[in-house]
Amino acid sequence: MRSCFLLVFLAGAWGSPTPQNTGNFNPCVPSPCGRNTRCEVNAQGGAVCKCLDGFFPKPDTITGCDVQCRSDGECGRGQACINSRCTNPCERITCGRNAFCTLRGSSAVCECATGYRGNPYSSCEINIVGGGGGGIVDNTVQVLDSNTACLDILETLKYFAKKENVRGTTSVASRRFAGITIALILVLEPVESPGYFGNPTTGCRAECESDTDCASNLACRDLKCVNPCVGTCGENAECEVVNHQPNCRCPQDYLGNPFTRCYPECTTHQECPGHQACINLKCGDPCVGACGTNANCRVENHKAICSCPKGFTGHPFDFCRPFRPEEICIPNPCGVNAQCAPGKDNQGNDRAVCTCPEGYIGDPLRSCTRGECITNNECPDNRACVNYNCVDPCATKGCGINAQCLSTRHAAVCSCPEFYEGDPLTQCTRRPEGRKFGK
């Protein structure tokens, strides 16, 4: 028996790489196959759906498998549903010698070959009858003795001529046997008329006169049992004969009128909305069955995009698992030149902590760039190295009220201006008139 199966590559239809079986992931759990099937894993790590023994795809192994037939009407002409299989009934019986098997509806019947008679289930023998009786025989050969008159021959011809729906040819020959007798041999070759069957020597009849004379999956047309579905349904439509009547329907996932034309919902992705894809001629969600365990899926331009959620790692087409603490910084999730270290968030969950290294500035989640300096010596005399940048030290150090600041040797020097006195780090006040400086 041929084995029908379908190889399933999850997400392969959307141009994404086919996942490889890592050893822990089983693409058959859960099974993507339909009923009456078994799921196997091939060498490439893909799921293979196969029908169980005795079952056939209906219509494919993803949808499921079923028996080949449940009634004779589901089988073709010359076949019957036997043990849920479409079979020629003649293959199940053995006819006798010189007999053959023919179908009557969906039943097998043995008949003796033309010119033979007997029990067709055991043995049929040729039947040649001689003598002056002018007997009529099944093989249409009659042997007449010398006393048979021409009238007897004519009567024989008239006998066959009266048979309804029989045509034939005749041949008469004479021969002398030792000058004593004349043997006249009449050979008739009856031929069944088109549309009729039976024994031409006893009468022919039409194959059918009404639908009830035919099998349930056939109808009587012009005295013959024929398939009533021929030429009945529209383009792409399916036809099923029930009780001799054709029933037209559009295939699954097809639209239209089965008596004129059936057409699929889609043939390309562009015929579907952006969040759907054309799957088996129908617009559907491309994320169904596309991603691995625990993975997230989003649709972009008819394609399924798989990714592991935050806090998970792995192959999104195969399996996503939570990070282990030592894996949080592998690969580095921080910005350019930033350093990563395992840490905790406010809820105590493991998370990556990003920082810029010494001598670098910027947003560690995006990019860290090297600063202007690390020490004051890398800056001009009137600038100081603050947060890796050379800045005016007076801008970062505040002097007292009314005091003045001078940047020198990378430091801010505070002093009270002329005519002022006091602590320049806190406050300078104007010196009273007539009072000398320092007194």
Q: In this model, does residue 201 exceed pLDDT 80?
A: no
Of 96-110, 191-205, 305-319, least confident by mean pLDDT is 191-205
The most confident of the ranges 291-295, 309-313, 434-438 is 291-295
Sign of the dihedral defined by the CA atoms of residues 343, 348, 349, 354, in that order: negative
User: If you average pLDDT over residues 426-430, what whole number do you get?
Assistant: 93
Q: In this model, does residue 197 exceed pLDDT 80?
A: no
Residue 331, preceding bond cis, omega within 30 degrees? yes
Q: What tens digit of pLDDT does each residue of 269-295 get?
A: 998 998 999 998 889 999 999 999 999
DSSP 387-417: TTEEE-HHHHS---BT-EEEEETTEEEEEPP
Q: In this model, does residue 228 exceed pLDDT 80?
A: yes
- Return mean pLDDT, the chain: 77
Q: Supply the pLDDT for residue 198.
A: 64
Q: In this model, does residue 314 exceed pLDDT 90?
A: no
Q: Is residue 140 very low, low, confident or very high in pLDDT (cuts 50, 70, 90)? A: very low
Q: Supply the pLDDT for residue 23.
A: 52
Q: In this model, does residue 180 exceed pLDDT 50?
A: no
Q: In this model, does residue 45 exceed pLDDT 90?
A: no
Q: Is residue 169 very low, low, confident or very high in pLDDT (cuts 50, 70, 90)? A: very low
**Contact assessment for residue 359 and residue 368, using Cβ atoms and an 8 Å cutoff:** no
Q: What tens digit of pLDDT does each residue of 401-421 get?
A: 999 999 999 999 999 999 999
Q: In this model, does residue 383 exceed pLDDT 50?
A: yes
Distance of alpha carbon 188 from the chain centroid: 62
Q: Name 107's bridge partners.
A: 104
Quick one: which H or E segment has residue 226?
A: strand 224-226
Q: Is 194 buried (19+), middle (13-18) or exposed (0-12) by CB count in 10 A?
A: exposed
User: If you average pLDDT over residues 382-390, what whole number do you get?
Assistant: 90
Count the neighbouring beta carbons within 10 Å of the beta carbon of residue 243. 11
One-letter amino acid for residue 388 of the chain: Y
Q: In this model, does residue 175 exceed pLDDT 90?
A: no
Q: In this model, does residue 329 exceed pLDDT 50?
A: yes
Q: Which of the two residues, 362 and 194, has the higher pLDDT score?
A: 362
Q: Which two tokens stand for residue 201?
A: 């020597």
User: If you average pLDDT over residues 317-340, what whole number do you get?
Assistant: 89
CA distance 33 to 48: 8
Q: Supply the pLDDT for residue 254.
A: 87
Q: In this model, does residue 133 exceed pLDDT 70?
A: no
Q: What tens digit of pLDDT does each residue of 257-271 get?
A: 888 889 888 889 998
Q: Which of the two residues, 335 and 22, has the higher pLDDT score?
A: 335
CA distance 27 to 13: 16
Q: Which two tokens stand for residue 185?
A: 């041999």
CA distance 227 to 76: 9
Q: Supply the pLDDT for residue 400.
A: 92
Q: Which of the two residues, 198 and 279, has the higher pLDDT score?
A: 279
DSSP 149-203: -HHHHHHHHHHHHTSTTEE--EEEE--EETTTEE-EEEEE--EEPTTEEEETTTE
Percent of the residues in the chain that have a pLDDT greater than 70, as a whole number:
75
CA distance 58 to 84: 14
pTM of the predicted model, to two decimals?
0.31
Residue 394 backbone dihedrals phi, psi, to 5 degrees: -70, -20
CA distance 292 to 276: 19
Q: In this model, does residue 160 exceed pLDDT 80?
A: no
**Contact assessment for residue 262 and residue 237, using Cβ atoms and an 8 Å cutoff:** yes
Q: Is residue 163 very low, low, confident or very high in pLDDT (cuts 50, 70, 90)? A: very low
Of 293, 299, 347, nearest to 322 by C-alpha is 293
Q: Supply the pLDDT for residue 93.
A: 84
